[in-house]
Amino acid sequence: MSPIDAIDIRTSLPGPRAKALLEREQTWLSQNYVKDYPLVVERAVGTTLIDVDGNRFLDFAAGIAVCATGHCHPQVVAAIQSQAERLLHLCAIDFSYPHVIDLAERLAAVAPGPTRKKVYFANSGAEAVETAIKLARLRTGRQKVVGFFGAFHGRTMGAVSLTASKAVQRRGYAPFLPEVHHTHYATCYRCPVNRHPDTCSIDCLDLLEETLFSTIAPPDEIAAIVVEPILGEGGYHVPKREFLERLATIAGDHGILLVADEVQTGFGRTGRLFACEHFGIEPDIMVLAKGIASGMPISAVVAKEEIMQWRSGGHGSTFGGNPVSCAAAMATLDLLEGGLIDNAADMGTHLLAGLRELQSRHRVIGDVRGLGLMIAVDLVKDRETREPDHELLDRVLHRAFEKGLALLGCGTSCIRIAPPLVVTKAEADAAIAILDSVLSGT
């Protein structure tokens, strides 16, 4: 029996219709990604995924942390339908329409920090990262960009030059953008410089300040430091507050622009609208996508007004700021501000406590970390050595799927807990119960 009614597995998995579709997928779709398990979804509502054979799954992946308001929230769907009847597309670089202006005004108002902001719209996280790189180079007249080992910023050529999460994401595609350098992130559970978090004074940043600056990347040649306020694909590492504070100081001292990639951390997922708010950081440029419009494609770059200055025609996008996506984003913001951000904070605390209780009983859980509904359960071969157990992660994801819980991984060995922000306590408890039974059987 499943722990909640939302889960209902009626066929062997994959069921007959799913199997047939997966065969066609193999034939016709580019096979650039091996999926963790064979889930073929026909429709979805709230936190429930319904597959093509009528099986129902509890969704703790949210389309990779995208469906902030849950699947097909009626308010978001109504906003999309109503907008679709009036204006589908116009192109915001050549014509004006209220939707982009309304959304820009709203995003500028809620962006962290007191400085006035301006907003640019694109279509994906990677495209917004590209925009941030171009803007930083244009405004500073400098070429170099610094990113972090473990970071993920997307897969287009500029974005992937910053991405340093897994070798497969870069293998075969070199040469990358020149003048991009990487330095250590504060991945304290597996510290890159072998310090203990209680006594460390953010020594991971010495590589940047003492080595890169004095050897290959003098600070006066660096346009931007691009950082995820919480490392996402790299394993949901929440840095110490001092890490981001010191980074902001370093950037400020050297005229380097601080770019916060809030593509995954943004839009309420961490229990604040933007993760930078937890750390008291005002980035010069902020990059947004994923949860912004509950699944409709749109991304944004929010920059300080003095920085968001282009040469006319120097940058643009045909689809950026699509009116239907803008309408979905406005409805999403209404719902987030109307209670979902608070729910993310509350459910995050509840999940963290429940998962830490699991950790006390399952030695394969080396670490449970996170903020709001961005939580990692790090699976290890040995608690002392903290050696990641990637094979176990694969088995856990697959068995959870068989029990009706849809999950994804992150880092090399983490179960990623990223449900829609509408998740309830009963659903959180059901997910923990499934993980408990899966881990008991491994």
Ligand X SMILES: Cc1ncc(COP(=O)(O)O)c(C=O)c1O
> Minimum CB separation from ligand X for residue 47, in Å?
20
Quick one: which of 165, 183, 264, 322 contacts ligand X (CB under 6 A)? 264
Cis link prior to 229 (omega < 30° from 0)? no
261 binds ligand X (CB under 6 A): yes
> Minimum CB separation from ligand X for residue 39, in Å?
19
- Residue whose C-beta lies closest to ligand X: 125
Structure tokens at 414: 């983490």
> Minimum CB separation from ligand X for residue 68, in Å?
14
CA dist., res. 75 & res. 122, Å (int): 23
Kindly write down the DSSP assignment for every residue of 330-365, as one continuous string.
HHHHHHIIIIIHHHHHHHHHHHHHHHHHHHHH-TTE
Contact string 48-67 vs ligand X (x = CB under 6 A): ----------------x---
- Name every residue whose Cβ is closer than 8 Å to that of residue 155 and which is 6 or more positions away in sequence: 126, 163, 169
Contact set for ligand X, span 126-155 (CB under 6 A): 126, 129, 152-154
Nearer to ligand X, 69 or 299 (CB): 299
> Minimum CB separation from ligand X for residue 441, in Å?
30
Q: How many CB atoms lie within 10 A of CB 168?
A: 7
Q: Is 82 helix (H, G, I), strand (E, B) or coil?
A: helix
Contact string 152-191 vs ligand X (x = CB under 6 A): xxx-------------------------------------
DSSP code at position 159: H
CA dist., res. 421 & res. 409, Å (int): 18
* Residue written as token pair 């990113």: 147
- Residue 3: name the closest of 57, 44, 43, 50 by CA: 57
> Minimum CB separation from ligand X for residue 214, in Å?
29
Quick one: which of 36, 53, 228, 378 contacts ligand X (CB under 6 A)? 228
Quick one: which of 63, 112, 125, 235 contacts ligand X (CB under 6 A)? 125
Chain contacts with ligand X (rule: CB under 6 A): 64, 124-126, 129, 152-154, 228, 232-233, 261, 263-264, 289
